[in-house]
Amino acid sequence: MKNVLTAAAMALTTAGAAQAADEVKLQLKWVTQAQFAGYYVALDQGFYEAEDLDVTILPGGPDIAPTQVIAGGGADVTVEWMPAALAAREKGLPLVNIAQPYKSSGMMLTCWKDTGISAPEDLANRTLGVWFFGNEFPFMSWMSQLGISTEGKGESGVEVLKQGFNVDPLLQRQADCISTMTYNEYWQVIDAGVSSDELITFKYEDQGVATLEDGLYVLEDNLKDPEFVNKMERFVRASMKGWKWAEENPDAAAEIVLDNDASGAQTEEHQKRMMSEVAKLTAGSNGALSEADYQRTVKTLLDGGSSPVITKEPVGAWTHIITDAALK
């Protein structure tokens, strides 16, 4: 009888230990794809489990605003672009960047070469496809710095076409250029049968107007809770292990992403190619936000002419508290 009781006690202890894992809900900026491979790898490879975390990854989509999800308590941490996060902060949602897995921006403008566009100055008097829902901020700042109005076509203005999350406006010649990411939409254009020789691209990084993408953000008040801070330290540490593993094993990381794609919409070829491009953007980051990169982003957003993305220097928009502890 004693052995039976001991076994039962051990089973209860084991069950209790399993339940003790701290829950974390991560809201992604977009659908399940290699853009977020590091988190899926950390889940698949047991990096979160090793940190005693029970992580749920919530995919995004066209009808999901990460800032609204975290504001409503639907997530503990969210992946967001810094322009959108800083704009939300200025409007009253106190988001704080706790880690920055992406070192470089993947955003660019992809144009038909036969339109005669060969330099940014040639963009005036064109129709340009632009993503909105917070993704338009870097573009607006860039146009302002070029002295190009976004109010309509003209010698010093462009027509801004609100671009859906596809490349149809370019393929159908509705726009001279469209917004693309180095790891996604550009390759959708190529896959549609367009030769790279027919295109000219302008990377935001090369134009000096790149802003930080895919950082990890939490609500400021939560950072007052030591337990939450500790949980985020473990989450960031495991996530960065996932990102570095993905960089070193891009094909395997892409397969893990595919295994987690409940929609079945992704293809192996596209995800492997995406992962190889994403690895270029996360390379060079250990997860800690670079103050220089932050300041460059803020400057770009403040230099928005008559309608800047943010109107004043943010205060308290980032912290090294998490990464200092997680990455030591």
Pair (323, 181) in one structural domain? no
Indicate whether 17 belongs to any domain.
no
Indicate whether 303 belongs to any domain.
yes
Pair (179, 154) in one structural domain? yes
Residue 125's pLDDT is 96
* CA gap 142, 208 in Å, rounded: 9
The domain boundary, picked from 207, 230, 261, lies at 207
The DSSP annotation for 232-252 comes to HHHHHHHHHHHHHHHHH-HHH
* CA gap 103, 278 in Å, rounded: 10
The domain boundary, picked from 143, 174, 207, lies at 207
Identify the residue whose tokens are 């338009």: 136
Helix/strand/coil (H, E, C) string of 58-100?
ECCCCCCCHHHHHHCCCCCEEEECHHHHHHHHHCCCCEEEEEE
Residue 16's pLDDT is 47
Pair (266, 126) in one structural domain? no
- Domain with 199 in it: what CATH number? 3.40.190.10
| 72, burial (CB in 10 Å: exposed 0-12, middle 13-18, buried 19+) | exposed
Pair (79, 227) in one structural domain? yes
Residue 138's pLDDT is 84
**Token reading at 248:** 């070193």
- Structural domain boundaries, residue 187: 107-207
Pair (141, 236) in one structural domain? no
For the chain (length 328 residues), average pLDDT per consecutive 10?
49 51 97 98 98 98 92 97 94 97 96 97 96 82 89 93 93 97 96 97 92 97 98 98 98 98 93 97 96 93 76 96 95
Residue 309's pLDDT is 81
Indicate whether 7 belongs to any domain.
no
